[in-house]
Chains A and B, each alone.
Chain A
């Protein structure tokens, strides 16, 4: 997953974490170097534990991991200097204004007082809390608290931003805004992002690399862009009228077809897999040539959902 010579963003080397007698992460081995990395898995898969291990909250029981080239066992402090972390749950100090809070977090990361104040204002404007930055955090709505958490995570200009369920509890407009911010930060090319989520859509929209965990093990790791290019495209349509000739014509174009239902004059369904390069408009053209009525046509690519479901079956 990492090009030769490049320093991976996250390098897991036989990483294992155990709480009591329960293995939470088991012998994880992978090297990730994407600009945005999605961490997926069902509840209890170990996503949050992996993140907490990377930022040094949890000590691994076996193996190790490297974040931006620093070993989590030997160099936890340099890692924390380079990382910005947005936790999943509410984390703030309710009696502080957003600007004081963000400034304090910047100072704790090593920024001088004046620089921290300036960056706090900038970060809050950037996430869209500029007008509310002097309000106490305790008076913020859930969406605003999420944005405040994002502001404190980026105030010191981290090289790796770790977002744990960034769209948790957000209404659709707030979610759209959060996704847009994540994309914007990705496009800035100034940081890597590690996004932990159980919402496939969020990861699909923002990430170029995906790591799927199940019961503490890696079940899938791939480059989403490559997957998208390689993945098959499916069409399912309902046609009214005789469609034998239509199916033969599709087969000649390289489609793999399966007919369900009536082949005669009635309504029938055809499921097909499109070969690379064939556009959907060709199907319409063939139907028009045969005067075949298309009552419904569903087109879909092999999405992250399929990848995820396949991974869950393993």
Chain B
């Protein structure tokens, strides 16, 4: 059909279902996002450790191969809950850096260019906007966290047998749940900071500051007040506590896991509140 039409005509065709429209935001953003070579390289780098883990699992089930290569096997080559917990911790750290890189570009450009009225003058709500923007980062984070985690579990299950898989299915559930929670927390922090800091580099720095400055502040609080609750300002420690609970780590923790959950919930609530303050069609200037 010709595109060169100089007369105005109304649209009379079918409309898409309203629930699916939030997916338009990530779809239109991926193309622009993946133009960044640095991001593509970092995404590739995020799969090095999972690939190494696959090799590790393979080696642990092929001791004759190790013997042939004159590599001592020993008890180190054990694939258990601790192995998966370490995997989750490592990939959670990679996810923080990915968030710092992708997060600033989520809401800040729309605010900088005053584009929000154009979204919200359509049958598109603020919740759909936030969900759409969040799904962009969530998909990327999922691709480097719980998805490879579950792939590792499947590889281990295929090599160790169905009996092992049946006995350890809780590990798969823990991988999925703990990393999904972490991904959601990261997404909300990134969205909130992206909504408040319009300059991208500053927003990226602010995201990293939440983790690194939070850790420093938590350590300072612990030292000054002589408590362990300052660790709740360190989100990496908080998620570490949650991982330890999810993976049934029996080591005694200085801070109750329930408090770690509360800290995460509070972080999410603050992020949503910050978002609700900024993601508006227009602002009343006092």
Contacts and interface: CB of A to CB of B under 8 A. Distances in A.
Interface string B14-41: 1110100100100010001000000000
Interface in A194-216: none
B8 A57 contact: no
Given A85-B121, A126-B8, A156-B11, A91 B3 contact: no
Interface residues of B, number: 39
Interface string A71-108: 00000011011010101011111111000100011011
Interface stretch (B82-90, B106-114, B248-256): B106-114
Given A52-B282, A121-B3, A91 B117 contact: yes
Contact of B15 (A85, A111, A119, A126): A111
A152 interface: yes
A314 interface: no
A114 to B, nearest CB: 10
Nearest to B24: A107
A51 B21 CA distance: 25
Nearest to B15: A110
A91 B113 contact: yes
A185 interface: yes
Contacts of A107: 16, 21, 24, 28
Nearest to A89: B114
Interface in B1-16: 1, 3-16
Contact of B117 (A20, A77, A85, A94): A85
Given A108-B124, A112-B13, A93 B109 contact: yes
A224 B128 CA distance: 42
B121 A185 contact: no
A8 to B, nearest CB: 20
A94 B109 contact: yes
B156 to A, nearest CB: 40
B226 interface: no
B163 interface: no
Contacts of A115: 11, 13
A110 B109 contact: no
Contact of B8 (A20, A87, A190): A190
Given A80-B123, A108-B119, A157 B12 contact: yes
A19 B4 contact: no
A70 B14 CA distance: 21
A111 B11 contact: yes
A110 B16 CA distance: 5
Contacts of A77: 18, 123
Contact of A188 (B7, B113, B114): B7
B169 interface: no
B125 to A, nearest CB: 8
Q: Among B109, B117, B281, which residue has the most Cβ atoms of chain A within 10 A?
A: B117
B115 to A, nearest CB: 5
B166 interface: no
B32 A95 contact: yes
Contacts of B3: 118, 121-122, 125
Interface in A128-178: 130, 152, 154, 156-157, 159
Nearest to A100: B28
Contacts of A90: 113-114
A241 to B, nearest CB: 56
Contacts of B28: 96, 100, 104, 107
Contacts of B280: 57
Given A111-B15, A190-B8, A19 B284 contact: yes
Closest 8 CB pairs of A and B: A157-B11, A110-B15, A157-B10, A121-B3, A85-B121, A57-B281, A77-B123, A190-B10
13 contacts: A20-B286, A56-B120, A56-B121, A57-B120, A87-B117, A87-B121, A92-B113, A94-B113, A96-B28, A96-B32, A125-B4, A126-B5, A157-B9
Interface of B: 1, 3-16, 18, 21, 24, 28, 32, 109-110, 112-115, 117-124, 280-282, 284, 286
Given A20-B286, A107-B16, A109-B122, 9 more contacts: A57-B280, A87-B121, A90-B114, A100-B28, A107-B21, A108-B24, A110-B16, A126-B8, A157-B10
